[in-house]
Copies of this chain bind each other. A is one copy, B any other.
Amino acid sequence: MSHNTFGHLFRVTTFGESHGISIGAVVDGCPPNLPISVEAIQGFLDKRKPGQNRFTTQRREADAVKILSGVFEDERTQGLRTTGTPIALLIENTDQRSKDYGEIRDSFRPGHADLTYDAKYGIRDYRGGGRSSARETACRVAAGAIARLVIPYVSIRGSLVQMGPHKIDRSNWDNNEIENNPFFCADAKAAKEWEVYLDGVRKSGSSCGAVIEVVASGVPAGWGSPLYGKLDAELASAMMSINAVKGVEIGEGFASASLSGEENADEIRMKDGKPDFQSNHAGGILGGISSGQDVVVRFAVKPTSSILNPRKTITSQGENTDIVTKGRHDPCVGIRAVPVGEAMMAIVLADQYLRHRGQMG
C-alpha cells in the first residue's frame, strides 16, 4: 500500500508502462501447495481484455500471461503448485502502434494524469499514458486470480449497477444475466437499454461513467485489522487506487446518511444456530471486521477523459491550446473495471485472511 505494492502478507507489486516492453506483477506471500494454472489466470484476464466488442477500446492485446517463478511441477505432486516463493507474472505489450505522440507529449489532456505526473516527476513515458494507463489493471486481474486460490470458498461477483445516469432496477436482478451481456449487468432489461445509450455516447465521441458493485459471499466473520487496517478501509483504498475511480461505498454507503438509526441497524435473530441478519445495510462489515454477511462494495468510475471532442488545455510550455484524443476511444471505461474490482476484492480478502490467521491461529 505504498508506491507500487499492495498488501501486507499477501503482497502484490506491479510494474510496467502502457507502451513499454511488458507489464507484470510479483505476488509474494502466497501460501504454498495451492494448485495453480496459467489457464485459470488467463481466464480472468480475458474478461478484462480490450477489443472484445464495440463498447470497449479497440486496442488489440493478447494479454497472454506467463508465470516466471514461484510455482513448481514435480513428478510427485502432479501439476503446477505454488511453492510459497514470489510468483512473477509477465504480460508482454504486443500492440504498441508506432504513431505520432506529439500532441499528448506536449499537451496535458484534461482529466488525465499527464499534468500531475509531469509536476511530480518532471519526466514521463507519455505513450498511451505510460504508468498511469489503465493497462496496469491487467496485472491486478492476474494477481487477483492468485488471491482467489487462497480463499477458494469465497465467491466474488462484480457487476455494473449504473451506466451514465442510468441505474439498474434491482427487482430485475439475475446473477445469470451478468455473463449474458457486454456490460456485466445483472438486469437484462437495463443491459438492452444501455446498449442503445452507449452506442449514442460512442458515436458522439463522448464518454460516460459507471458504478460497479462487487459482492463477496462466504467471507467468515472475523476478518479485518482494526483500526487502521480495517477491512472496509482497505477495500476503500483498493478500489480508489483503480484508474478513474472517484468514490467508494460499503453496504448502504452514502444513502445511510439519510436513514434513521432504527432503519439502518441490521437486526439479528438466531437461525440454524447462527446469527441471521434481517438486512445488510452494513455491507457485511462492522467495526472494520467482517460479520459473516455478504461483503458489498460499490465504486464510481468517472467518464473517460479521452474523448473525440476538443477540450481547452495547456502545453508543457505553458501555452493555451485545445486537445482532442485521436484513435482508439473507450466510451465507458467502467465496463472493464468490473473484473478489476473483483480482483482487488480478492486481494484485500486474501491478505486480510492471512493476517487474521497470523494473529488468531
What bracket does the count of chain A residues touching chain B fall in? Answer: 35 or more
A248: B residues at CB distance < 8 A: 236, 240, 247-249
In the complex, whether A340 has a CB less than 8 A from a CB of chain B is: no
**A218-253 toward B: CB 8 Å interface, digit per residue (1/0)?**
000111111111101111111111010111111111
Query: Are A228 and B241 within 8 A (Cβ)?
Result: yes
Query: Are B15 and A86 within 8 A (Cβ)?
Result: yes
Q: Given A121-B84, A240-B230, A289-B120, A275–B355 Cβ distance below 8 Å? A: no
Which residue of B16, B23, B250 contacts A247 across the interface (Cβ within 8 Å)? B250
Which residue of B20, B209, B257 contacts A300 across the interface (Cβ within 8 Å)? B257
Query: Are B5 and A117 within 8 A (Cβ)?
Result: no
A165: B residues at CB distance < 8 A: 257-258
Query: Are B312 and A278 within 8 A (Cβ)?
Result: yes
A250: B residues at CB distance < 8 A: 240, 246-247
Smallest CB gap from A84: residue in B: B121
Smallest CB gap from A315: residue in B: B270
Query: Are A208 and B261 within 8 A (Cβ)?
Result: yes
Within residues 197 to 233 of chain A, which ones have a CB less than 8 A from any CB in chain B? 201, 206-211, 221-230, 232-233
A162: B residues at CB distance < 8 A: 257-258
Smallest CB gap from A125: residue in B: B72
**A100-121 toward B: CB 8 Å interface, digit per residue (1/0)?**
0000000010111101110111
Smallest CB gap from A137: residue in B: B227
Alpha-carbon gap, A139 to B323, bound state (A): 43
In the complex, whether A307 has a CB less than 8 A from a CB of chain B is: yes
Which residue of B28, B33, B251 contacts A3 across the interface (Cβ within 8 Å)? B28
Within residues 131 to 155 of chain A, which ones have a CB less than 8 A from any CB in chain B? 131-132, 136
Query: Are A254 and B246 within 8 A (Cβ)?
Result: yes
A22: B residues at CB distance < 8 A: 68-69, 88
Which residue of B224, B226, B334 contacts A131 across the interface (Cβ within 8 Å)? B226
In the complex, whether A59 has a CB less than 8 A from a CB of chain B is: no
Alpha-carbon gap, A224 to B241, bound state (A): 11
Within residues 1 to 43 of chain A, which ones have a CB less than 8 A from any CB in chain B? 1-6, 8-9, 11, 13-17, 20-24, 26, 28-33
Query: Are B226 and A275 within 8 A (Cβ)?
Result: no
Q: Given A31-B361, A33-B123, A124-B83, A302–B257 Cβ distance below 8 Å? A: yes
Q: Given A69-B21, A247-B248, A286-B111, A85–B4 Cβ distance below 8 Å? A: yes
Query: Are A21 and B221 within 8 A (Cβ)?
Result: no
Which residue of B120, B237, B252, B290 contacts A224 across the interface (Cβ within 8 Å)? B120
Alpha-carbon gap, A319 to B202, bound state (A): 57
Q: Given A261-B307, A265-B110, A288-B113, A254–B4 Cβ distance below 8 Å? A: no
Query: Are A68 and B209 within 8 A (Cβ)?
Result: no
A309: B residues at CB distance < 8 A: 261-262
Alpha-carbon gap, A9 to B4, bound state (A): 11
Alpha-carbon gap, A167 to B121, bound state (A): 40
Alpha-carbon gap, A152 to B112, bound state (A): 29
Instruction: List, sorted by A's number, 7 A–B pairs whose CB atoms are closer than 8 Å.
Output: A22-B68, A83-B121, A116-B221, A246-B283, A256-B303, A259-B303, A357-B361
Q: 5 smallest A-B Cβ distances: which pairs?
A: A113-B287, A358-B358, A247-B249, A209-B257, A207-B261
In the complex, besides A1-B1, A20-B68, A265-B305, 11 extra interface pairs with C-beta distance below 8 angstroms are: A13-B28, A16-B86, A32-B359, A85-B125, A116-B290, A119-B222, A120-B356, A230-B240, A232-B246, A267-B312, A268-B313
